[in-house]
Structure 1
Amino acid sequence: MKPILYVIVSTFLWTACASHEDSKLERIEAPILSNNGQTISFKDSTMRHFFQTEPVYDGSVTASYTAPGKIAATVVASVAGASQNVVLFDNPDLAASYTALAQHQTNIHQIQQINLKQKEIELDRASDLLNHGAATGRDVLEAQTALSLEKSNLANEKASLIQYEANLKQGGFDPTALRKAPAGKAYVICDIPENQISNIHEGAACEVLFSAYPDKTFKGQVEDIADVVDNATRMVKLRISLLDNSSLLKAGMFAQVLFDLKNVGNHMTVSKESLVTVDGKDYVFIVAGNGVFKRQTITTGQQIGERLVVLQGLEKNDQVVTKGAIQLKGLSFGY
């Protein structure tokens, strides 16, 4: 515990020196810990004044959230007269997956609608000829083998289709939506934290800003929320669709996506700066007296903007530490 006390006291000494360069520096008393670090008392006024607090907020919360994004694909009309529009991807791997997926879909259609039907007709014909003595059992066996081979080809094509479809979904795209997308549509992919999933839903409206057009705001809509949370970053991909008939938007452009977040009903909330987490448990520090702070265990709900919903552990009139919560955490837990 002593090393951390030295660090904390040194921090406050530095703060005091920076704030009162011309005053005589007095000896600062170390904080007093009790109840296994749950209570921290500061007798020195300089150290007490370092901390900032705010009352627990009790009411409906409306906030906004901004996420960085990028135009991952745009849809343009085919100049070669193809039946489907052309999708231009920023990521060449996704472009390759989309092309391969389209080819496998064509192959599957060919096998199902033409090859299998033809092989079934040939098998029926060989069986009929055998019944009339005009063919041999070998002819029927060869027809059966050819039909089985086509069925095997179909299974392989479907397996490959699943692979490339998974690649596109990992990148935030729905292959079916891409095939049906009209010319002029642009797709922005952005990442949001896992704890914001409950605040943003499919179909939600949003605003999209591009550095290329600082004076123009584009209206977007959340088309899809990915099924996978990134294991390392704990982020989830969103696909935002925009309709741009002016051809201003290009694949690869960076964007800022603005969401309006609304918390329905009244709940107690605290600033996210006040939260400290240790061993999977959430804590805040509340004012328990003049220069006395108490560590309080809380149960948190969703995050809305810069606020955290508190489900248990706080009362309406509690004063919660915002600035200095990290320093109190170090003192309270000894690191």
Structure 2
Amino acid sequence: MIKNLVPILIFLGLLASCGEKETKTSESKHASPIVSNDGKSISFPDEESISFFETETVGSNNVESVLTAPGKIVATVLPSGAGASQNIILFDNPELSSNYTQLLQHRTNINQIQNINIKQKQLELERTKDLLAHGLATGQDLLTAETELSIERSNLLNERSALLEHETQLKSSGFNAEVLQKAKTGTAYLICDIPENQIRKIEVGQTANAVFTSFPNDTIPGKIAAVADMMDASTRMLKVRVELNNADKKLKTGMFATVSFGMSESDFISVSENAVVTIQGRHYVFVKTSPTEFERREIQLGTHMGKRIIVFSGLENDEEIAVEGAMQLKGLSFGY
């Protein structure tokens, strides 16, 4: 009798073990993905759960492309209606306009103090010293003359410091004060931002073509007049100033455009258009960082080539990104 019970107990034990495995498997299948790091990381319970998302490995392709960047007319040069020798620079940013106006005033002040005031006070000091030597002036007169010269020299230092501050503000916005002062009437300046990893392909004097929202059927040629000296620390973008001919006054300060720069080099990463999701004007893909995890990555896009899109920054060769199911990952990452 006991011998017959042993096989039965073993059989029941196996059934119970199988039941536990089925329960764990079922629980695993129904477990929800874990979203963390402000939606940037999405972890799945197992590899079977993540198999729904089709991926591709990215790599550089030999393609020819055009670098495009959004731009805006930030300044136009107009003749002075009062007949003044200095042209009027009409900025889209009131703060920039104020910086430029104050810069011109400080330069005028520096010229006045350096070439007139200080020279005059130096002559007065020498004259006072001579009068003192002949008993025609007092020590107080000498002290007053020395103090007045010292004040003018201090004023000169203050004016130069203020001038430097306004020059720095202009440069951070992509402008050079000397260029603005010499700018010809009928010139329009357009500023656009270029990704850090594309800077080597941008040169002063290079041709650029602008298509404005206001004139979608017109391509207006221009040239790169300057590249800013300072990179934006948060966006890793560099400002490029494009000079356009605006003799007909067609272009207005504040107008938006798409600027294209022809590029002969061809080593670019491209991705399927299905892999890209866009939220509030910013573009993302989902990079598979482990067998059960995706990471949201912001990218800088270039032009479309068929059903693929050039990527200028944000991805490296041999990274694996989601192609099918990107919209579902978008919903998990952003919560909708």
Q: TM-score, normalised by structure 1?
A: 0.67
Residue 188 of structure 1, CA deviation = 0.8
8 A contact 1:84–1:179 mirrored in 2: yes
What amino acid maps onto 1:137 in structure 2?
A: G
Distance in structure 1 (CA, Å) of the matches to 2:242 and 2:229: 15
| Mean CA deviation greater in 235-244 or 173-182 | 235-244
Residue 198 of structure 1, CA deviation = 2.7
What amino acid maps onto 1:51 in structure 2?
A: E
Return the match for 2:202 from 194, 200, 204: 200
What amino acid maps onto 1:242 in structure 2?
A: L
What amino acid maps onto 2:176 in structure 1?
A: D
1:20-99 matches, within 5 Å, as 33=47, 47=52, 51=54, 53=56, 56-57=59-60, 59=62, 61-99=63-101
Q: Which residue of 1 aligns with 2:246?
A: 244
SS in 1 for 2:102: helix
SS in 1 for 2:234: coil
Q: Which residue of 2 aligns with 1:155?
A: 157
SS in 2 for 1:323: strand
What amino acid maps onto 1:226 in structure 2?
A: A
8 A contact 2:230–2:238 mirrored in 1: yes
Identical pairs, percent: 42
CA distances 1:140-195 after superposition (whole Å, capped 9, x unpaired) = 22111111000001111111112222222222221111101000000111223333
Distance in structure 1 (CA, Å) of the matches to 2:87 and 2:78: 6
Q: Which runs of 5+ in 1 are unaligned?
A: 9-29, 35-39, 276-282, 286-292, 296-301, 331-335
Distance in structure 2 (CA, Å) of the matches to 1:161 and 1:309: 37
Report whether the alignment pairs 1:216 with 2:218. yes
8 A contact 1:56–1:320 mirrored in 2: no
Residue 210 of structure 1, CA deviation = 1.2
Q: Which residue of 2 aligns with 1:290?
A: none
SS in 2 for 1:81: coil
Distance 1:211 1:116, change over 3 A: same
1:1-335 matches, within 5 Å, as 33=47, 47=52, 51=54, 53=56, 56-57=59-60, 59=62, 61-263=63-265, 269=269, 271=271, 306-307=310-311, 323-324=323-324
Q: Which runs of 5+ in 2 are unaligned?
A: 1-26, 35-43, 277-285, 294-299, 304-309, 331-336
Residue 129 of structure 1, CA deviation = 2.1
Q: TM-score, normalised by structure 2?
A: 0.67
Distance 1:325 1:107, change over 3 A: farther
CA distances 1:103-147 after superposition (whole Å, capped 9, x unpaired) = 111111100111011111111111222233332232222111111
8 A contact 1:196–1:303 mirrored in 2: no
Distance in structure 1 (CA, Å) of the matches to 2:187 and 2:78: 8
Distance in structure 2 (CA, Å) of the matches to 1:268 and 1:250: 35
Q: Which residue of 2 aligns with 1:14?
A: none
8 A contact 1:53–1:320 mirrored in 2: yes
Residue 324 of structure 1, CA deviation = 4.3
Residue 242 of structure 1, CA deviation = 0.8
SS in 2 for 1:259: strand
Q: Which residue of 1 aligns with 2:3?
A: none
Distance in structure 1 (CA, Å) of the matches to 2:114 and 2:311: 55
8 A contact 2:195–2:312 mirrored in 1: no
8 A contact 1:189–1:237 mirrored in 2: yes
